[in-house]
Structure 1
Amino acid sequence: MAQSPRLARRATASVFWSFLRFGSDQVFNFVVFVVMARLLSTADFGLFVVAFVYAEVGKIIASGGLVSCLYRAPEVTPRLADTIFWSNLGLASVFALGGLVLQQPIADALGRPEGGTVVAALGFVVPVTALGASHMSRNLREFGHKSLALRSLLSGLIGGGLAVVAAWNGFGVWSLVVQRYAAEIINTLVAWRAFRWRPGFRFSLATLREQAPLGGNVALSQLVILFISRTQDLIISHALGAGAVGVYRTAWKSTELLAQGTITPFSTVALPTLAKLQSDENAFRRAYLRIVAISGAISFPCIVGFGLLANELIPLIYGEKWAPSIPVAQALTFLVVPYALNFFADPALTALGRSGVIVRLAVVQLVGTIVFCSLAAPFGLRAIAIAYVVRSYLTLALQLLMFQRATGVAATKVLRSILPQVSAAAAMAVAVTAFSTLRDAFPNGWLYVACAVVLGAAVYVPVLALMAGPARAEALAEARRFISEGRRPTSEKA
């Protein structure tokens, strides 16, 4: 990227806008999640979780499969664009009809008559998402993250607001349906306005056959990754009951939101950036290591900090009835390293066209999750969380080796890129843990949390700067460029 200053500027500016975009998404989703956790019973909350899974599967099909081919293509021809658009819309429509046809079996499986109807309604959001997915991908290909950030703010504000109003007025799990429809309709309208392109009818079956392996593997890997976490829900439900699923999912969702909010903005920009560097191996490796390091510098203190303060934060945010989630959240905090690396493996491999490696890794992770969590289930929720963490580190070792063979990025260099962040987070953990002995001196939980956060930042930042060594001057310069690019008017960046 040093050899392409314009690419570096566009990438850093896009990260800025991606933070705004994903930050707003996570805030609004988090608000809805908290409201649901407080208003719904554990049984209703379990239905909410299942319905949310169906919505996420649909979103992956509509925006995470075939449209990923648009990133890697050297040139997006009219034939390619039309083929991807209509094929993607067709798949989304089939998914929607499938939910409609299967709503009764779904209701029977859930044991809730309204469950099938809720799931079927969510299925018809998927074609709406597909209508704007190609526009979104082509806009991201050109680093058009600013317009997408504004889109997310608008859709999140309206969709999240309507969902909260619906929940307060007794709509229950239907609040999720309200949120999805409002948000996706706005997303699609803004995507069409941001990228002024109207699909034609140059559909080509030959082009579809050419692109299907990459798009299919990307979608399949994302679905397998989604099922990795949801498999735990099935195991927990079978061994410990539906109420335990809500407890576990509350802890999981909290950690996941932090990871997505701090890492996904970087991983989203990583795909178009690395795709443009796919022909320059040295530049590709440097860019990959740099973006992993910078992302880790932000994500590590957030995720580790939540684990350290889970005793206070979970009751304060969700209510006292979710206190059993605390030990689970503390165990899941140790996923910070796998999170930091897993989020970037898929974009890098997709940029190089190595989607088969992604699928093989995802399948290994899924099988490992089933085995480890099933063995741990008789010992309770915390044991399941610990088993998942152990599985994650074991498969991470395999991932690093497979990633090294596929990309040429040495596993040792990847680990060294996050060593300063790990060390700084460990020092922060020691300081905050020692500070917890003074908890009784604070009149309320929020004041204690605020002081702990300030202390953690006061320890983390200087230790990170010290551990970064010779690279810290470059990192600080890059941070300044990041801030200046984010504030600079779009006309100046061009």
Structure 2
Amino acid sequence: MAGYWRRLRNGSQFNDRCVKPMNGRAGIANILWATAQSWGGKIILFGIFLVLANILTPEQFGIASASGLIILLSGYVAELGFVDAIVQRPNLQPEEISAPFYLSLLFSLCLALLIFYLSDTLEAWARVEGLGAVLSVSCAIGPVMTLSVFQEAVYRRTLSFKQLAVRTLISNTAGGVIAIAAALAGFGVWSLVAQSASAAVISAVWLWLNPKWLPTKHIRLDSLRSLSVFGLNVLATRLLDFGVTRLVDFAVLANYGATGLGIYTVGSRIYQTMLMLLQGALSDVGLALLSRASSEKAAIRKTYQLTSVTSAFVGVPIFVCFAALSTEICSVLFGPEWQGVDKISQILLLLGAVQCVQFLNGTYLTSLGKPQLVSLQNLLRFIIVVPLILFWPAKSVGDIVLVFAVAQLFLSPISFVIVSRIVNVSLITTVRAVAPIYCSASIGFFACELCRPYIGESSPFLRGLMLAAIFALFYAASILIVARSQTRQVLSVFKNRSYSRSA
């Protein structure tokens, strides 16, 4: 065993000077593999989720979701933001990673022991029967994930996206197969625990059998201090974002128990998957590309206007169409046992129609060296969203979700005002560019609502197809009337992209 690790150590330490810059065909390949990792993994997980939703009950999903929230929070804290610091720090030496790795692993082990010790207390606090037993097992996932994220950070730093994509597809598929088999065998909530645990273990084993870096005995305290400054800022931002985006989960759990949380989890899954797919298409590699052009203000301004229109043109009609068809989609995908998920899904999908354009603001602020403004926006979200969710009188899970969505929309103008000033783009110009797209999508949405009563009592699948055709017809007609210039812009983007790839 000692000889094995010695051989690994001699051939596994990364070197930034050996990393080739992302350009030409190599750059395109990296982008494609990064997209494959993001999209492929999430699509597989969504497919597995659909199968499990038709086997398990809302209460079982709720228990697993409650456990997942606690494990996710502990993972954020244990990581201490070091992973992002490792990826972004220039001229990083392999031995500089050892101290952050040991510290995060120690934190992760301590948090796992704390969760194990407090599992029954957390069950009593959440008033969810069975949560303590699930937490006492799930807490072991945290340290395993910590082992993975540091190795993954070095993979990302060395642009090894192909290997990460293969790892993601293998671990997610294997975890899903195990979960489905366990669910069919009657293991209930434990099938979801088995999915998370098996995927985490397979991912960690794969990465550490093919390491890009190995920890050393030598510890660089000077580097640890500088990495900690960056990492703690990242951690603070993530905790604020967690407090805003996940508070709705805790509110639903506190008021409606595990069953209510399970319904919310399923109802929000389509929205979350679609939003992550769209964000992942740009954010995984796009941030690095934008950062390289951060000194070219005119280029950034032009790129922002073009990407805003492109994101709206692609994302808005998809989100709004899915919102219009939420009743039919949820009926086909989840069945009659999940009553109420369609309303939750519709509210969040309409919110996603705004967020699919708004998420670009954070990417541009970071690329221009203004991450503190992203943190400021998260702080404002926390100040506004948290009191509304905690104190607004809600009579159902849908009411809580509606309050959450309205609070998020209230902050959207602030985000666009900030980025418009930094990028030096007229806010009115941006609004004029995307407004026709939103108007066209709204026309398609209301056309579906007006036509639904006249379609009849056909099957949800056929009714969904007819409503989708109605939406497409009204949206396309409206776009051709009010957004011809935007259509030409977007088509030119895809045409140029296809040409550059073929070249």
Question: What is the TM-score when the length of structure 2 is the normalising length?
Answer: 0.82
| CA distances 1:296-347 after superposition (whole Å, capped 9, x unpaired) | 4333233212211111121222221322222232222321244224533444
CA distance in 1, matches of 2:111, 2:499: 43
Of 57, 80, 94, 2:73 maps to 57
Which stretch of the first structure deviates more once superposed, 258-267 or 33-42? 33-42
Partner of 1:66: 82
C-alpha spacing 1:68/1:144, structure 2 compared with 1 (3 Å): same
1:129 aligns with 2:145: yes
1:232-251 aligned at under 5 Å gives the runs 232-251=248-267
1:115-194 aligned at under 5 Å gives the runs 115-141=131-157, 143-191=159-207
1:250-265 aligned at under 5 Å gives the runs 250-265=266-281
C-alpha spacing 1:457/1:70, structure 2 compared with 1 (3 Å): farther
Listed as ranges, the gaps of 5+ residues in structure 2 are 1-20
Q: Give the drift of 1:79.
A: 4.3
CA contact (8 A) 2:443 2:475 kept: yes
3-state DSSP class of the match of 1:475? helix
C-alpha spacing 1:258/1:65, structure 2 compared with 1 (3 Å): same
Listed as ranges, the gaps of 5+ residues in structure 1 are none
1:415-494 aligned at under 5 Å gives the runs 415=431, 418-419=434-435, 421-440=437-456, 442=458, 444-457=459-472, 460=475, 469-470=484-485, 472-473=487-488, 475-480=490-495, 482=497
Bigger-Rg structure (1/2) = 2
C-alpha spacing 1:13/1:395, structure 2 compared with 1 (3 Å): farther
Of 117, 124, 132, 1:101 maps to 117
C-alpha spacing 1:207/1:347, structure 2 compared with 1 (3 Å): farther
Q: Give the drift of 1:162.
A: 0.9
RMSD of aligned residue pairs (Cα, Å): 3.5
CA contact (8 A) 1:62 1:91 kept: yes
Of 384, 388, 406, 1:368 maps to 384
CA distance in 1, matches of 2:268, 2:389: 14
Q: Give the drift of 1:176.
A: 2.2
- Equivalent residue letter for 2:460: G
Of 386, 399, 403, 2:415 maps to 399
1:335 aligns with 2:351: yes
Q: Give the drift of 1:396.
A: 1.6
Q: Give the drift of 1:53.
A: 1.4
1:48 aligns with 2:96: no
C-alpha spacing 1:374/1:54, structure 2 compared with 1 (3 Å): closer
Of 234, 239, 252, 1:223 maps to 239
3-state DSSP class of the match of 1:74? coil
| CA distances 1:404-462 after superposition (whole Å, capped 9, x unpaired) | 456656545554564454244234324444553453274x2223323443554455567
Which aligned runs of 4 or more in structure 1 are off by greater than 6 angstroms?
A: 8-11
- Equivalent residue letter for 1:400: F
CA distance in 2, matches of 1:436, 1:294: 30
Of 38, 59, 72, 1:22 maps to 38
CA contact (8 A) 1:36 1:172 kept: no
1:377-396 aligned at under 5 Å gives the runs 377-396=393-412
C-alpha spacing 1:348/1:111, structure 2 compared with 1 (3 Å): same
CA distance in 2, matches of 1:345, 1:272: 15
3-state DSSP class of the match of 2:92? coil
Which stretch of the first structure deviates more once superposed, 127-136 or 300-309? 127-136
CA distance in 2, matches of 1:17, 1:335: 29
CA distance in 2, matches of 1:150, 1:420: 41
1:208 aligns with 2:221: no
Q: Give the drift of 1:242.
A: 4.5
CA contact (8 A) 2:56 2:188 kept: yes
3-state DSSP class of the match of 1:200? coil
| CA distances 1:91-150 after superposition (whole Å, capped 9, x unpaired) | 433332332232232233234564223224323222322223234334334554333322
CA contact (8 A) 2:60 2:262 kept: no
3-state DSSP class of the match of 1:148? helix
Q: Give the drift of 1:50.
A: 0.3
Question: What is the TM-score when the length of structure 1 is the normalising length?
Answer: 0.83
Of 285, 288, 293, 1:272 maps to 288
Q: Give the drift of 1:36.
A: 4.4
C-alpha spacing 1:352/1:111, structure 2 compared with 1 (3 Å): same
CA contact (8 A) 1:28 1:156 kept: yes
| Percent of aligned pairs with the same amino acid | 21
Q: Give the drift of 1:24.
A: 2.9
- Equivalent residue letter for 1:314: C
C-alpha spacing 1:101/1:244, structure 2 compared with 1 (3 Å): closer
3-state DSSP class of the match of 1:321? coil
- Equivalent residue letter for 1:453: A
CA contact (8 A) 1:264 1:343 kept: no
3-state DSSP class of the match of 2:456? helix
